[in-house]
């Protein structure tokens, strides 16, 4: 591409960062960086009733947390600031004056009652409603008189009668005739901009070369092209991505589970796994590759390989992918990733001896799917107190071997060397002393020390618990057995 690529992601801060918006941002990021271009972040916050600063912070933090850092935008000032639409009103008014001077727009004084009557007539006739254009060729003198009198009005674009062609990078050629569009409103009477007009003015001003967004914007694209043409400005290339779907192939919504990026991070998904999975929702990497780093995605990304059909959000596949990322981390990396969750769960990681905590992380790492699973798998090590839940321990404690095994183990634990080797020797000695099956030995021991009958390696678990805690828990279990 000869012209430097400039794409933009333009979310509205009317809610937390949505999975779909994050996917759109990712595809823009990959496209821009694949072509050595730039991604611009623009906040479309003109909906003053629904826009909130907290949502803006959530959007910014979410994108940064995923590693999708923008090249221009809030906090990264560039030559086309400001990057909040609410601060760009004067630019929109100046742009509207240009179109007024060119005769490309006109004021419409139709009342809501008049417009409703037009809609009703179209409905009765069984045709799609399109504004009649009543004020398009009105008497200039009357128009000026009404404007001078401050009569309520809006500004409409003079739409030519023609076919608009969209050469979509993803979907191919799309043709829409303006006879189903009509002269649409681009600004209010006070010359404040409506959505389609502001978007085009911003994209022209910021020299956006490619507009990559969801298919729900396809209906906006012909209107925006007509505004570009009214300014005689070069068109960007458009690409419309299919929606992310729920398992029932309906639009993904809260009724199907979490839809915000923050919710998935809170559940314990790694940013790298989320990014990887989002890339697979609608894009087919070469050779069926599924596990890709952000760098690899940038190298391989091809906008023409983005699918035209909706991608189903499969939580189980995301969980699987996350588990592979978790298991590939070093214990140090995993502990660092766990730090925010210690805080969220009212624990303090620094309250544990670091080398011991790293051993705990390494012990349970293979059992983790989500980061938050760490606190379920390692709770018996992190907590001083251990509660016995009947559904988890009753079968083990009901074994005929339970009291004998625990009593013998307690005696050996009191005097053995407390090293991994020493713990191993305790268990070997115990096995040599009794004729019980392995399950009859290990189940009561694990239940007494961890509160369940399955989990991480028992030898290392015993060693990490420490002699004092082990002896106390065996005593607790023996009391529990005696009722």
Candidates 188, 223, 254, 395; catalytic one: 254
d(CA 65, CA 69): 9
Q: 167-175 contacts: CB < 8 A, separation 24 or more?
A: 167/237, 167/238, 168/238, 168/239, 168/240, 169/210, 169/212, 169/237, 169/238, 169/239, 169/303, 169/304, 170/239, 170/240, 170/241, 170/303, 170/304, 170/306, 170/308, 171/239, 171/240, 171/308, 174/218, 174/221
For residue 147, the tally of other CB atoms under 10 A from its CB is 13
d(CA 316, CA 304): 27
d(CA 262, CA 65): 10
Q: Which residues pair with 225 in a beta bridge?
A: none
For residue 428, the tally of other CB atoms under 10 A from its CB is 10
Percent helix, strand, coil in the chain, to 5, is 55, 10, 35
The H or E element containing residue 446 is: helix 438-450
Q: Which of 203, 187, 194, 196 is nearest to 80 (CA)?
A: 203
Sheet hosting strand 210-214, strand order edge to edge: 38-41, 6-9, 210-214, 237-241
From residue 62, give the alpha-carbon distance in Å to each of 194, 275, 297: 27, 11, 19
- State how far Cα 328 lies from the chain centre: 22
φ/ψ of residue 262, rounded to 5: -55, -35
Strand, coil or helix: what is 127? coil
Contact between 63 and 19 under an 8 Å Cβ cutoff? The reply is no
Strand, coil or helix: what is 418? coil
d(CA 229, CA 168): 17
Active site residue 469: no
Catalytic residue positions, numbered: 254
């Amino acid at each position: 591409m000869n012209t430097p690529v400039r794409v933009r992601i333009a979310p509205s801060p009317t809610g937390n960062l949505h999975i779909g918006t994050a996917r759109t941002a990712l595809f823009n990021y990959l496209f821009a960086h694949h072509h050595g271009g730039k991604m611009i972040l623009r906040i479309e916050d003109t909906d003053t009733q629904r826009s909130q600063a907290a949502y803006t912070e959530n959007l910014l933090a979410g994108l940064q947390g995923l590693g999708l850092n923008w090249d221009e935008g809030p906090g990264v000032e560039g030559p086309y600031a400001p990057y909040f639409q609410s601060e760009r009103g004067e630019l929109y008014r100046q742009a509207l004056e240009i179109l007024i001077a060119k005769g490309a727009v006109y004021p419409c004084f139709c009342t809501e009652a008049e417009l409703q009557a037009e809609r009703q007539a179209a409905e009765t006739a069984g045709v799609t409603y399109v504004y009649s254009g009543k004020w398009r060729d009105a008497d200039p003198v009357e128009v000026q008189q009404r404007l001078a009198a401050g009569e309520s009005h809006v500004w409409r674009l003079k739409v030519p009668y023609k076919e608009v062609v969209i050469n979509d990078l993803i979907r191919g050629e799309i043709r829409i005739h303006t006879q189903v569009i009509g002269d649409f409103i681009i600004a209010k009477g006070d010359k404040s901009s409506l959505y389609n007009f502001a978007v085009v003015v911003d994209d022209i001003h910021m020299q956006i070369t490619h507009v990559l967004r969801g298919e729900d914007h396809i209906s906006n694209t012909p209107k925006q092209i007509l505004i570009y043409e009214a300014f005689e400005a070069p068109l960007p290339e458009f690409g419309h991505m299919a929606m992310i779907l729920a398992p029932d192939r309906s639009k993904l919504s809260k009724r199907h589970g979490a839809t915000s990026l923050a919710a998935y991070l809170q559940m314990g998904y790694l940013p790298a796994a989320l990014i990887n999975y989002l890339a697979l929702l609608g894009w087919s990497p070469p050779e069926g590759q599924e596990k890709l780093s952000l760098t690899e995605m940038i190298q391989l990304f091809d906008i023409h390989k983005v699918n035209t059909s909706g991608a189903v959000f499969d939580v189980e596949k995301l969980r699987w992918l996350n588990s592979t990322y978790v298991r590939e981390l070093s214990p140090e990396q995993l502990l660092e990733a766990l730090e925010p969750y210690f805080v969220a769960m009212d624990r303090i990681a620094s309250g544990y001896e670091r080398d011991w905590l790293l051993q705990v992380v390494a012990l349970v790492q293979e059992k983790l799917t989500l980061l938050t699973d760490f606190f379920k798998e390692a709770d018996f090590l992190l907590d001083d107190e251990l509660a016995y839940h009947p559904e988890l321990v009753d079968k083990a404690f009901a074994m005929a071997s339970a009291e004998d095994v625990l009593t013998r183990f307690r005696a050996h634990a009191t005097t053995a060397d407390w090293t991994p080797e020493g713990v191993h020797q305790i268990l070997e000695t115990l096995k040599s002393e009794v004729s019980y099956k392995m399950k009859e030995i290990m189940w009561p021991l694990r239940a007494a020390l961890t509160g369940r009958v399955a989990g991480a390696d028992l030898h290392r678990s015993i060693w990490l618990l420490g002699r004092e805690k082990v002896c106390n828990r065996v005593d607790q279990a023996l009391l529990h057995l005696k009722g």
